[in-house]
Chain A
Amino acid sequence: MGRKMIRFKINGVEKIVEVEPNKTLLWLIREELKLKGTKKACERGDCGLCTVLLNGEPVKSCLVLAVEVDGSEILTVEGLARDGELAPIQRSFIEHGALQCGFCTPAFLIVGHWLINKNPNPSREEVVEAMNGILCRCTGYKSIIDAIIDAAKNMRRA
């Protein structure tokens, strides 16, 4: 199987990696780069826990081949806080207790972060639509939706 050299930026850091075609972006992130914040929970695009930002857009990294990210920029949960400052979405999740076991939290943070930056005043329906692709078994979603709406409000105020 022909290995390919890929060059990309992840959380602002440039990386050059040689990778086999059958490895997914999720594998690249967790196994090659050892960034464990992004989770593996179904590998079929059902659960959404592998979601990262690829060139600014959320994608399910289990359904992206690593070779496809050559020349791309990736953001994972580890890249949300900058210089020790939490992103507004992270602060909001803490305040609202919008997490329990935490396994789904990185995915919700990534999509939430993307949503409130793209749409500064999302309606509850828009938040739910954006979050429908990510499963949570612990919280019942209400605190997560509240946290995202609140984070958007705080961003508008800032």
Chain B
Amino acid sequence: MLPKFEYYSPATLSEALELLERYGEDAKIIAGGTDLLVSMRDRLLKPKNLIDIKKIPDLRQIEYKEGVGITIGAAVTYKDMLEHPIMEKKYRVLCEAVRTIGDIVLRNRATLVGNICNASPAADSAPPLLILDARVRIINKNDGVREVPLERFFIGVKKTILKPTEIVKEVFIPEPPTNYYGKYVKMMRVLSEDLTVVGVAGLAYRDKGELIVRLAFSSVAPTPIRVREVEEVFKKKDMPIDKKIEEAVKISSEKVSPISDVRGSAEYRLNLVKVATTRLLKELVGVV
């Protein structure tokens, strides 16, 4: 049985912010509920108030502006996101990652913003969002909206910069580079579906002939991380591509800090980082 709580289902964003202001520490936002309700059932969280944001029209928008980017509201489910025509076209690597989260039924309810706010180091949506330069728009009752790059949003295992009276209104992903090729590789313990043992998102594109590569990981550090040093490697002149890949893999394996847990040992995870990154980079440079 879930612990006892009061339930609010505000119809507007300002109502929700008012409730947050009032209850702050003792409140949790519920959207899909697929992480929150499990934590509550396990008694890891016992919020006295739940604020359901699913009825707020402002938070259910998914809006694309050509040349600018796409905005995905806090209550937009993965299903709604995947059905939006632009997502597959422009943000395929994110769609690929999202399709590895849970299963199709879970994705009818779970939300992208929920995944970010839950801030698991294994969050599958995070690596693609990081390499796509996603930004988080945070709002509270008094201060209006502030925008923070996703990279600065995560600060620890299941910890974000959000204050108790704040909510993420939406995620903004800028217009991606033209003709980029991106891929998310999720290493699991099984073939079907699992939490991520090691996840790596990469994208590559040519900018005036120059090869640009971006790489980000999940499940290998306290937060999902983008390894910017790798990007520098690919910018180097006079280095053969094979050497660049080798160097990038070496740097990645130094920048990650996987732990040993019930899903895998640190040693094995490090091996997966090396193998998955090598294969991914080879594929990226092969296509672009």
Q: In the assembled complex, which residues on chain B have CB atoms less than 8 Å from the CB atom of A68?
A: 9, 52, 54
Q: In the assembled complex, which residues on chain B have CB atoms less than 8 Å from the CB atom of A129?
A: 103-104
**Please, how many angstroms separate the alpha-carbon atoms of A48 and B104 in the complex?**
11
Q: In the assembled complex, which residues on chain A have CB atoms less than 8 Å from the CB atom of B192?
A: 132
Which one of A7-15, A58-66, A86-94 is at the interface? A58-66
**Please, how many angstroms separate the alpha-carbon atoms of A68 and B263 in the complex?**
34
Shortest C-beta distance, A129 to chain B (Å), equals 6
A interface footprint on B7-20 (CB within 8 Å = 1, 0 otherwise): 10100000000000
Shortest C-beta distance, A21 to chain B (Å), equals 4
From DSSP, what is the main secondary structure of chain B's interface residues? loop
B288 within 8 Å of A by Cβ? Answer: no
Contact A63 B52 (CB under 8 A): no
Contact B5 A133 (CB under 8 A): no
Which one of B30-38, B57-65, B129-137 is at the interface? B30-38
A43 within 8 Å of B by Cβ? Answer: yes
Contact B108 A63 (CB under 8 A): no
**Please, how many angstroms separate the alpha-carbon atoms of A65 and B6 in the complex?**
12
Select which of A1, A21, A45 is within 8 A of B106 by beta carbon: A45
**Please, how many angstroms separate the alpha-carbon atoms of A129 and B105 in the complex?**
10
B2 within 8 Å of A by Cβ? Answer: yes
Contact B41 A57 (CB under 8 A): no
Of the listed residues A1, A63, A129, A130, the one surrounded by the most CB atoms of chain B closer than 10 A to its CB is A63
Contact A22 B4 (CB under 8 A): yes
Contact B4 A48 (CB under 8 A): no
B267 within 8 Å of A by Cβ? Answer: no
In which size bucket is the chain B interface? 20 to 34
Shortest C-beta distance, B20 to chain A (Å), equals 17
B143-161 residues with Cβ-Cβ distance < 8 A to A are none
How many residues of chain A have a CB within 8 Å of chain B? 29
Contact A132 B103 (CB under 8 A): yes
Q: In the assembled complex, which residues on chain B have CB atoms less than 8 Å from the CB atom of A1?
A: 4-6
Contact B105 A65 (CB under 8 A): no
Contact A21 B33 (CB under 8 A): no
Are A65 and B38 CB-contacts (below 8 A) given A22-B5, A59-B109?
Answer: no
Contact B2 A133 (CB under 8 A): no
Shortest C-beta distance, B90 to chain A (Å), equals 23
Closest chain B residue, CB of each to CB of A24? B2
**Please, how many angstroms separate the alpha-carbon atoms of A23 and B40 in the complex?**
12
A interface footprint on B179-222 (CB within 8 Å = 1, 0 otherwise): 00000000000001100000000000000000000000000000
Contact A130 B5 (CB under 8 A): no
Contact B38 A63 (CB under 8 A): yes
Q: In the assembled complex, which residues on chain B have CB atoms less than 8 Å from the CB atom of A63?
A: 32-34, 37-38, 109
Shortest C-beta distance, A89 to chain B (Å), equals 16
Select which of B9, B103, B106 is within 8 A of A67 by beta carbon: B9
B79 within 8 Å of A by Cβ? Answer: yes
Q: In the assembled complex, which residues on chain A have CB atoms less than 8 Å from the CB atom of B106?
A: 45, 60, 133
Shortest C-beta distance, B188 to chain A (Å), equals 12
Q: In the assembled complex, which residues on chain B have CB atoms less than 8 Å from the CB atom of A76?
A: none
Contact A65 B109 (CB under 8 A): no
Q: In the assembled complex, which residues on chain B have CB atoms less than 8 Å from the CB atom of A22?
A: 1-5
Q: In the assembled complex, which residues on chain A have CB atoms less than 8 Å from the CB atom of B177?
A: none
B102 within 8 Å of A by Cβ? Answer: yes
A4 within 8 Å of B by Cβ? Answer: yes
Shortest C-beta distance, A4 to chain B (Å), equals 7
- Which B residues fall within an 8 A CB radius of A? 1-7, 9, 30, 32-34, 37-38, 41-42, 50, 52, 54, 79, 102-106, 108-109, 192-193
- Which A residues fall within an 8 A CB radius of B? 1-2, 4, 20-24, 27, 43-45, 48, 51, 57-60, 62-65, 67-68, 111, 129-130, 132-133
* A57-B108, A67-B7 given; 6 more Cβ-contact pairs under 8 Å: A22-B5, A45-B38, A45-B106, A48-B103, A48-B105, A133-B104
Question: Which 7 residue pairs are nearest across A and B when measured between Cβ atoms?
Answer: A133-B103, A21-B7, A22-B2, A58-B105, A1-B4, A133-B105, A132-B103
